[in-house]
Protein backbone atom coordinates (compact mmCIF):
# COMPACT_ATOMS: atom_id res chain seq x y z
CA UNK A 1 0.00 0.00 0.00
CA UNK A 2 2.82 2.36 0.83
CA UNK A 3 4.58 1.77 -2.49
CA UNK A 4 1.26 2.26 -4.27
CA UNK A 5 0.56 5.50 -2.41
CA UNK A 6 3.95 6.95 -3.26
CA UNK A 7 3.15 6.24 -6.90
CA UNK A 8 -0.31 7.79 -6.71
CA UNK A 9 -2.15 4.48 -6.40
CA UNK A 10 -4.40 4.49 -3.33
CA UNK A 11 -5.51 1.03 -2.29
CA UNK A 12 -8.42 1.01 0.13
CA UNK A 13 -8.11 -2.62 1.19
CA UNK A 14 -5.36 -5.17 0.76
CA UNK A 15 -7.80 -7.63 -0.74
CA UNK A 16 -8.08 -5.39 -3.81
CA UNK A 17 -4.43 -6.07 -4.66
CA UNK A 18 -5.02 -9.77 -4.29
CA UNK A 19 -8.00 -9.64 -6.63
CA UNK A 20 -6.32 -7.34 -9.12
CA UNK A 21 -3.65 -9.92 -9.80
CA UNK A 22 -6.30 -12.36 -11.08
CA UNK A 23 -8.25 -9.96 -13.31
CA UNK A 24 -8.82 -11.31 -16.83
CA UNK A 25 -11.00 -8.58 -18.29
CA UNK A 26 -10.55 -4.81 -18.05
CA UNK A 27 -13.55 -2.61 -18.76
CA UNK A 28 -12.95 1.10 -19.38
CA UNK A 29 -15.45 3.92 -19.37
CA UNK A 30 -14.89 6.22 -22.36
CA UNK A 31 -15.55 9.83 -21.42
CA UNK A 32 -13.11 11.05 -18.79
CA UNK A 33 -11.37 7.70 -18.48
CA UNK A 34 -10.01 6.67 -21.88
CA UNK A 35 -10.44 10.26 -23.01
CA UNK A 36 -9.16 13.29 -21.14
CA UNK A 37 -12.64 14.41 -20.17
CA UNK A 38 -11.83 17.91 -21.38
CA UNK A 39 -14.66 18.22 -23.84
CA UNK A 40 -14.53 21.11 -26.26
CA UNK A 41 -17.37 22.68 -28.20
CA UNK A 42 -16.13 22.33 -31.78
CA UNK A 43 -19.24 22.54 -33.98
CA UNK A 44 -22.69 24.08 -33.88
CA UNK A 45 -25.75 23.61 -36.05
CA UNK A 46 -28.86 25.69 -35.69
CA UNK A 47 -32.42 25.63 -36.92
CA UNK A 48 -33.44 28.36 -39.34
CA UNK A 49 -33.81 31.76 -37.71
CA UNK A 50 -31.95 30.78 -34.55
CA UNK A 51 -28.51 32.18 -33.80
CA UNK A 52 -25.65 29.96 -32.58
CA UNK A 53 -25.41 32.19 -29.49
CA UNK A 54 -29.04 31.60 -28.60
CA UNK A 55 -28.62 27.83 -28.78
CA UNK A 56 -25.52 27.95 -26.59
CA UNK A 57 -27.09 30.33 -24.07
CA UNK A 58 -30.25 28.27 -23.70
CA UNK A 59 -28.34 24.99 -23.42
CA UNK A 60 -25.91 26.41 -20.85
CA UNK A 61 -28.76 27.83 -18.77
CA UNK A 62 -30.58 24.49 -18.73
CA UNK A 63 -27.38 22.68 -17.71
CA UNK A 64 -26.67 24.93 -14.68
CA UNK A 65 -27.55 22.29 -12.13
CA UNK A 66 -26.01 19.28 -13.88
CA UNK A 67 -22.69 17.87 -12.64
CA UNK A 68 -21.99 16.13 -15.98
CA UNK A 69 -18.83 16.98 -17.91
CA UNK A 70 -20.99 17.93 -20.88
CA UNK A 71 -22.78 20.52 -18.73
CA UNK A 72 -19.52 22.07 -17.55
CA UNK A 73 -18.24 22.31 -21.13
CA UNK A 74 -21.40 23.96 -22.42
CA UNK A 75 -21.49 26.46 -19.55
CA UNK A 76 -17.87 27.48 -19.91
CA UNK A 77 -18.32 27.88 -23.67
CA UNK A 78 -21.22 30.25 -23.00
CA UNK A 79 -19.15 32.20 -20.48
CA UNK A 80 -16.36 32.56 -23.04
CA UNK A 81 -18.83 34.19 -25.38
CA UNK A 82 -20.10 36.43 -22.56
CA UNK A 83 -23.57 34.93 -22.68
CA UNK A 84 -25.28 35.35 -19.30
CA UNK A 85 -27.05 32.28 -17.91
CA UNK A 86 -30.84 32.62 -17.78
CA UNK A 87 -32.78 31.72 -14.68
CA UNK A 88 -34.39 28.28 -14.64
CA UNK A 89 -37.50 27.36 -12.74
CA UNK A 90 -37.54 23.58 -12.94
CA UNK A 91 -34.75 21.10 -13.45
CA UNK A 92 -34.58 17.38 -14.06
CA UNK A 93 -31.64 15.25 -15.17
CA UNK A 94 -31.95 11.81 -16.70
CA UNK A 95 -28.65 9.92 -16.37
CA UNK A 96 -27.15 8.99 -19.73
CA UNK A 97 -29.80 10.94 -21.63
CA UNK A 98 -29.75 14.63 -20.76
CA UNK A 99 -31.54 17.36 -18.85
CA UNK A 100 -34.78 19.33 -18.96
CA UNK A 101 -35.49 22.75 -17.49
CA UNK A 102 -37.99 25.59 -17.78
CA UNK A 103 -36.72 28.98 -18.86
CA UNK A 104 -39.13 31.90 -18.99
CA UNK A 105 -42.04 29.50 -19.23
CA UNK A 106 -40.51 27.58 -22.10
CA UNK A 107 -39.58 23.92 -21.82
CA UNK A 108 -35.94 23.27 -22.71
CA UNK A 109 -34.44 19.85 -23.42
CA UNK A 110 -30.72 19.16 -23.85
CA UNK A 111 -29.37 15.68 -24.54
CA UNK A 112 -29.31 12.66 -26.79
CA UNK A 113 -31.51 11.85 -29.77
CA UNK A 114 -33.23 9.31 -27.55
CA UNK A 115 -33.95 12.03 -24.98
CA UNK A 116 -35.68 14.03 -27.74
CA UNK A 117 -37.65 11.03 -28.98
CA UNK A 118 -38.79 10.28 -25.44
CA UNK A 119 -40.37 13.75 -25.44
CA UNK A 120 -42.03 13.19 -28.81
CA UNK A 121 -39.64 15.38 -30.73
CA UNK A 122 -39.02 13.95 -34.18
CA UNK A 123 -35.61 14.04 -35.81
CA UNK A 124 -36.09 14.46 -39.53
CA UNK A 125 -33.55 13.49 -42.19
CA UNK A 126 -31.61 16.73 -42.07
CA UNK A 127 -30.95 16.62 -38.33
CA UNK A 128 -30.06 12.94 -38.61
CA UNK A 129 -27.51 13.54 -41.32
CA UNK A 130 -25.96 16.51 -39.50
CA UNK A 131 -25.42 14.48 -36.37
CA UNK A 132 -24.19 11.54 -38.42
CA UNK A 133 -21.46 13.67 -39.98
CA UNK A 134 -20.33 14.76 -36.52
CA UNK A 135 -20.31 11.25 -35.11
CA UNK A 136 -18.16 9.92 -37.95
CA UNK A 137 -15.48 12.37 -36.84
CA UNK A 138 -15.77 11.25 -33.23
CA UNK A 139 -17.77 14.34 -32.24
CA UNK A 140 -20.73 13.81 -29.90
CA UNK A 141 -23.84 15.70 -30.93
CA UNK A 142 -25.96 17.15 -28.13
CA UNK A 143 -29.46 18.19 -29.21
CA UNK A 144 -31.15 21.33 -27.89
CA UNK A 145 -34.93 21.75 -28.07
CA UNK A 146 -37.26 24.56 -27.00
CA UNK A 147 -40.99 24.06 -26.66
CA UNK A 148 -40.96 20.77 -28.56
CA UNK A 149 -38.87 22.11 -31.45
CA UNK A 150 -35.22 21.35 -32.16
CA UNK A 151 -33.23 24.59 -32.22
CA UNK A 152 -29.69 23.26 -32.55
CA UNK A 153 -26.95 20.69 -32.12
CA UNK A 154 -23.78 21.29 -30.11
CA UNK A 155 -20.82 19.17 -31.26
CA UNK A 156 -18.45 18.19 -28.44
CA UNK A 157 -15.07 16.62 -28.95
CA UNK A 158 -12.73 14.90 -26.52
CA UNK A 159 -9.30 13.41 -27.23
CA UNK A 160 -7.91 10.06 -26.10
CA UNK A 161 -5.44 10.20 -23.22
CA UNK A 162 -1.81 10.04 -24.36
CA UNK A 163 -1.15 6.73 -22.66
CA UNK A 164 -4.41 4.98 -23.62
CA UNK A 165 -2.97 3.33 -26.71
CA UNK A 166 0.10 1.88 -24.97
CA UNK A 167 -1.71 0.69 -21.87
CA UNK A 168 -4.33 -1.15 -23.90
CA UNK A 169 -1.84 -2.57 -26.38
CA UNK A 170 0.11 -4.00 -23.41
CA UNK A 171 -3.02 -5.53 -21.93
CA UNK A 172 -3.98 -7.15 -25.24
CA UNK A 173 -0.44 -8.44 -25.69
CA UNK A 174 -0.68 -10.10 -22.27
CA UNK A 175 -3.81 -11.93 -23.40
CA UNK A 176 -6.21 -9.85 -21.31
CA UNK A 177 -9.64 -8.90 -22.62
CA UNK A 178 -10.47 -5.20 -22.92
CA UNK A 179 -13.88 -3.55 -23.32
CA UNK A 180 -14.89 0.08 -23.71
CA UNK A 181 -18.23 0.83 -22.10
CA UNK A 182 -19.86 4.11 -23.04
CA UNK A 183 -23.13 5.94 -22.92
CA UNK A 184 -22.15 7.73 -26.11
CA UNK A 185 -23.19 6.74 -29.63
CA UNK A 186 -21.60 3.73 -31.36
CA UNK A 187 -20.16 5.81 -34.22
CA UNK A 188 -18.48 8.20 -31.76
CA UNK A 189 -17.06 5.36 -29.67
CA UNK A 190 -15.75 3.58 -32.76
CA UNK A 191 -14.16 6.72 -34.12
CA UNK A 192 -12.56 7.90 -30.86
CA UNK A 193 -11.16 4.45 -30.02
CA UNK A 194 -10.17 3.52 -33.58
CA UNK A 195 -6.47 3.38 -32.62
CA UNK A 196 -6.98 0.99 -29.73
CA UNK A 197 -6.98 -2.20 -31.77
CA UNK A 198 -8.95 -5.34 -31.18
CA UNK A 199 -11.13 -4.43 -28.21
CA UNK A 200 -14.83 -4.80 -27.58
CA UNK A 201 -16.78 -1.54 -27.98
CA UNK A 202 -20.12 -1.29 -26.21
CA UNK A 203 -21.96 1.98 -26.86
CA UNK A 204 -25.26 3.60 -25.90
CA UNK A 205 -25.23 1.82 -22.57
CA UNK A 206 -27.35 3.62 -19.99
CA UNK A 207 -25.78 4.13 -16.54
CA UNK A 208 -28.07 1.53 -14.97
CA UNK A 209 -27.10 -0.98 -17.65
CA UNK A 210 -23.37 -0.58 -17.10
CA UNK A 211 -23.65 -2.70 -13.96
CA UNK A 212 -25.51 -5.42 -15.86
CA UNK A 213 -22.81 -5.53 -18.52
CA UNK A 214 -20.18 -6.21 -15.84
CA UNK A 215 -22.43 -8.86 -14.31
CA UNK A 216 -22.83 -10.56 -17.69
CA UNK A 217 -19.06 -10.70 -18.19
CA UNK A 218 -18.70 -12.21 -14.72
CA UNK A 219 -21.29 -14.84 -15.54
CA UNK A 220 -19.22 -15.72 -18.61
CA UNK A 221 -16.41 -16.55 -16.21
CA UNK A 222 -14.35 -13.37 -16.50
CA UNK A 223 -12.76 -11.75 -13.48
CA UNK A 224 -13.53 -8.11 -14.15
CA UNK A 225 -11.89 -4.80 -13.27
CA UNK A 226 -13.84 -1.64 -14.10
CA UNK A 227 -12.01 1.64 -14.62
CA UNK A 228 -14.23 4.72 -14.49
CA UNK A 229 -14.65 8.27 -13.34
CA UNK A 230 -18.26 9.35 -13.34
CA UNK A 231 -21.27 9.07 -11.07
CA UNK A 232 -22.80 6.86 -13.73
CA UNK A 233 -19.92 4.41 -13.38
CA UNK A 234 -20.46 3.82 -9.65
CA UNK A 235 -22.81 0.81 -9.85
CA UNK A 236 -20.39 -0.83 -12.30
CA UNK A 237 -17.41 -0.03 -10.06
CA UNK A 238 -19.18 -1.74 -7.17
CA UNK A 239 -20.28 -4.73 -9.26
CA UNK A 240 -16.82 -5.32 -10.70
CA UNK A 241 -14.42 -7.61 -8.85
CA UNK A 242 -12.07 -4.65 -8.65
CA UNK A 243 -13.29 -1.06 -9.09
CA UNK A 244 -10.69 1.48 -10.13
CA UNK A 245 -11.56 5.20 -10.14
CA UNK A 246 -9.65 8.16 -11.47
CA UNK A 247 -9.24 10.85 -8.83
CA UNK A 248 -10.45 13.46 -11.32
CA UNK A 249 -13.83 11.75 -11.23
CA UNK A 250 -16.82 12.46 -9.06
CA UNK A 251 -16.85 11.87 -5.29
CA UNK A 252 -19.38 9.09 -5.73
CA UNK A 253 -17.20 7.09 -8.08
CA UNK A 254 -14.17 7.52 -5.82
CA UNK A 255 -16.28 6.31 -2.90
CA UNK A 256 -17.38 3.24 -4.86
CA UNK A 257 -13.91 2.15 -5.98
CA UNK A 258 -11.37 -0.20 -4.38
CA UNK A 259 -8.39 1.52 -5.95
CA UNK A 260 -8.00 5.23 -6.76
CA UNK A 261 -5.52 6.56 -9.27
CA UNK A 262 -4.55 9.98 -7.98
CA UNK A 263 -2.39 11.04 -10.92
CA UNK A 264 -5.19 10.41 -13.39
CA UNK A 265 -2.95 8.43 -15.69
CA UNK A 266 -3.99 5.17 -17.28
CA UNK A 267 -0.42 3.91 -17.04
CA UNK A 268 -1.11 3.68 -13.31
CA UNK A 269 -3.51 0.83 -14.05
CA UNK A 270 -0.59 -1.12 -15.51
CA UNK A 271 1.57 -0.17 -12.54
CA UNK A 272 -1.13 -1.27 -10.09
CA UNK A 273 -1.29 -4.63 -11.91
CA UNK A 274 2.45 -5.03 -11.62
CA UNK A 275 2.37 -4.08 -7.95
CA UNK A 276 -0.43 -6.56 -7.29
CA UNK A 277 1.36 -9.46 -8.98
CA UNK A 278 4.60 -8.60 -7.26
CA UNK A 279 2.96 -8.27 -3.82
CA UNK A 280 1.26 -11.63 -4.09
CA UNK A 281 4.48 -13.30 -5.14
CA UNK A 282 6.30 -11.75 -2.20
CA UNK A 283 3.62 -12.87 0.24
CA UNK A 284 3.97 -16.45 -1.02
CA UNK A 285 7.76 -16.33 -0.81
CA UNK A 286 7.55 -14.98 2.74
CA UNK A 287 5.16 -17.68 3.84
CA UNK A 288 7.50 -20.34 2.47
CA UNK A 289 10.43 -18.59 4.13
CA UNK A 290 8.87 -18.38 7.58
CA UNK A 291 7.40 -21.86 7.49
CA UNK A 292 10.80 -23.28 6.46
CA UNK A 293 12.45 -21.44 9.31
CA UNK A 294 10.00 -22.78 11.85
CA UNK A 295 10.01 -26.31 10.45
CA UNK A 296 13.78 -26.45 10.85
CA UNK A 297 14.33 -24.42 13.99
CA UNK A 298 11.43 -25.45 16.22
CA UNK A 299 12.33 -29.21 16.26
CA UNK A 300 15.99 -28.29 16.81
CA UNK A 301 15.00 -26.10 19.74
CA UNK A 302 12.79 -28.85 21.15
CA UNK A 303 15.73 -31.23 20.98
CA UNK A 304 17.69 -28.61 22.92
CA UNK A 305 20.12 -28.29 20.03
CA UNK A 306 19.72 -24.52 19.80
CA UNK A 307 21.33 -22.45 22.49
CA UNK A 308 19.29 -19.50 23.84
CA UNK A 309 21.85 -17.13 22.35
CA UNK A 310 21.57 -18.64 18.85
CA UNK A 311 17.77 -18.60 19.13
CA UNK A 312 17.86 -14.95 20.20
CA UNK A 313 19.89 -14.10 17.11
CA UNK A 314 18.12 -16.22 14.48
CA UNK A 315 14.57 -15.35 15.44
CA UNK A 316 14.86 -11.64 14.52
CA UNK A 317 16.97 -12.57 11.49
CA UNK A 318 14.09 -14.62 10.12
CA UNK A 319 11.78 -11.63 10.59
CA UNK A 320 14.29 -9.34 8.93
CA UNK A 321 14.48 -11.66 5.91
CA UNK A 322 10.72 -11.45 5.47
CA UNK A 323 10.71 -7.66 5.87
CA UNK A 324 13.71 -7.30 3.57
CA UNK A 325 12.02 -9.39 0.90
CA UNK A 326 8.90 -7.20 1.13
CA UNK A 327 11.00 -4.03 0.91
CA UNK A 328 12.34 -5.18 -2.46
CA UNK A 329 8.90 -4.50 -3.95
CA UNK A 330 9.52 -0.76 -3.87
CA UNK A 331 12.66 -1.12 -6.00
CA UNK A 332 10.94 -3.19 -8.64
CA UNK A 333 7.96 -0.90 -8.92
CA UNK A 334 10.16 2.17 -9.29
CA UNK A 335 11.92 0.48 -12.20
CA UNK A 336 8.51 -0.26 -13.63
CA UNK A 337 7.58 3.40 -13.46
CA UNK A 338 10.75 4.56 -15.17
CA UNK A 339 9.98 2.10 -17.93
P1 LIG B 1 -20.28 8.21 -20.76
O2 LIG B 1 -20.65 6.80 -20.47
O3 LIG B 1 -19.57 8.32 -22.08
O4 LIG B 1 -19.51 8.86 -19.64
P5 LIG B 1 -23.00 9.19 -20.14
O6 LIG B 1 -23.63 7.86 -19.89
O7 LIG B 1 -22.79 10.07 -18.97
O8 LIG B 1 -21.65 9.04 -20.98
O9 LIG B 1 -23.90 9.99 -21.16
C10 LIG B 1 -24.30 9.43 -22.39
C11 LIG B 1 -24.81 10.50 -23.30
O12 LIG B 1 -25.98 11.12 -22.71
C13 LIG B 1 -23.84 11.62 -23.54
O14 LIG B 1 -22.98 11.34 -24.62
C15 LIG B 1 -24.77 12.78 -23.85
O16 LIG B 1 -25.14 12.78 -25.20
C17 LIG B 1 -26.00 12.50 -23.02
N18 LIG B 1 -26.01 13.27 -21.76
C19 LIG B 1 -25.83 12.79 -20.51
N20 LIG B 1 -25.90 13.78 -19.59
C21 LIG B 1 -26.11 14.92 -20.28
C22 LIG B 1 -26.24 16.29 -19.90
N23 LIG B 1 -26.18 16.71 -18.65
N24 LIG B 1 -26.45 17.17 -20.90
C25 LIG B 1 -26.50 16.78 -22.18
N26 LIG B 1 -26.36 15.53 -22.60
C27 LIG B 1 -26.17 14.60 -21.67
MG1 LIG C 1 -17.13 8.96 -17.82
pLDDT tens sequence across 84-128: 999 999 999 998 899 999 999 999 999 999 999 999 999 988 999
Q: How far is the CA of 271 from the centre of ligand 2 (A)?
A: 21
Kind and range of the H or E run holding 193: none
Residue having the nearest C-alpha atom to atom 17 of ligand 1: 97
Q: Does 273 sit in the ligand 1 pocket, CB within 6 Å?
A: no
Nearest residue to 24 (alpha-carbon basis) of 227, 178, 193: 178
**Ligand that comes closest to the CA of residue 96:** 1
Across the range 246-270, mean pLDDT stands at 87
Residue having the nearest C-alpha atom to atom 8 of ligand 1: 183
Contacts of residue 311, defined as CB under 8 A and 6 or more positions apart, other chains included, come to 297, 301
Mutate to test the pocket of ligand 1, among 67, 95, 183, 185 (most ligand atoms within 8 A of CB): 183
Q: Does 182 sit in the ligand 1 pocket, CB within 6 Å?
A: yes
**pLDDT of 338:** 47
Nearest residue to 27 (alpha-carbon basis) of 159, 220, 187: 220
Q: Does 253 sit in the ligand 1 pocket, CB within 6 Å?
A: no
pLDDT tens sequence across 311-338: 889 889 888 999 998 888 877 666 555 4
Q: Does 234 sit in the ligand 1 pocket, CB within 6 Å?
A: no
Q: Does 70 sit in the ligand 1 pocket, CB within 6 Å?
A: yes
Burial of 145 (0-12, 13-18, 19+ CB in 10 A): buried
Grade residue 208 by pLDDT with cuts at 50, 70 and 90.
confident
Q: Does 228 sit in the ligand 1 pocket, CB within 6 Å?
A: no
Can 184 be counted among the known catalytic residues? no
Most confident of 92-96, 149-153, 259-263: 149-153
Q: How far is the CA of 110 from the centre of ligand 1 (A)?
A: 10
Grade residue 241 by pLDDT with cuts at 50, 70 and 90.
very high
Please report the beta strands in 124-240, taking only residues with DSSP state E, as ranges in sequence order. 140-146, 149-157, 177-181, 200-202, 224-228
Q: Which range is least confidently modeled, 59-63, 108-112, 187-191, 252-256?
A: 252-256
Across the range 49-66, mean pLDDT stands at 96
Planar angle of CA 27, 117, 229, nearest 5 degrees? 25
Q: How far is the CA of 203 from the centre of ligand 1 (A)?
A: 12
Q: How far is the CA of 70 from the centre of ligand 2 (A)?
A: 10
Planar angle of CA 29, 127, 100, nearest 5 degrees? 60
Residue having the nearest C-alpha atom to atom 4 of ligand 1: 31
pLDDT tens sequence across 4-55: 888 889 999 888 988 999 999 999 999 889 999 889 999 999 999 999 999 9
Q: How far is the CA of 95 from the centre of ligand 1 (A)?
A: 7
The pTM of this model reads 0.86
**pLDDT of 253:** 83
d(CA 141, CA 120): 18
**pLDDT of 89:** 92
Across the range 146-171, mean pLDDT stands at 95
**Ligand that comes closest to the CA of residue 33:** 2
User: Which residues lie across from 99 on neighbouring strands?
Assistant: 93, 110
Whole-number Cα distances in Å, 208 to 221, 258, 315: 22, 20, 55
Q: How far is the CA of 132 from the centre of ligand 1 (A)?
A: 17
**pLDDT of 336:** 53
Taking the CA of residue 66 as reference, the ligand 1 atom at the shortest distance is: 23
Burial of 89 (0-12, 13-18, 19+ CB in 10 A): exposed
d(CA 120, CA 151): 15
**pLDDT of 232:** 81
Kind and range of the H or E run holding 246: strand 242-246
Q: Does 258 sit in the ligand 1 pocket, CB within 6 Å?
A: no
Kind and range of the H or E run holding 109: strand 106-111
**Ligand that comes closest to the CA of residue 201:** 1
**pLDDT of 339:** 45
Q: Across the chain, what does the average pLDDT equal?
A: 91
Amino acid sequence: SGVGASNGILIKQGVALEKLSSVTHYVFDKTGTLTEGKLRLVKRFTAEGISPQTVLQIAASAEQQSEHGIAKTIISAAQQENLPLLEISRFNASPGRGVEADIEGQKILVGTAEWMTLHDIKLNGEWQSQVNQLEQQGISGVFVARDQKLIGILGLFDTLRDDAKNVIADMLAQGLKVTVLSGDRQLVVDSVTADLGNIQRLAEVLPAEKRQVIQRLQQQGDFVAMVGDGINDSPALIQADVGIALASGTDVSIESADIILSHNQLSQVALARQLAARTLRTIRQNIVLSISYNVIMVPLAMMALVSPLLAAITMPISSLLVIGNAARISRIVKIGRAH
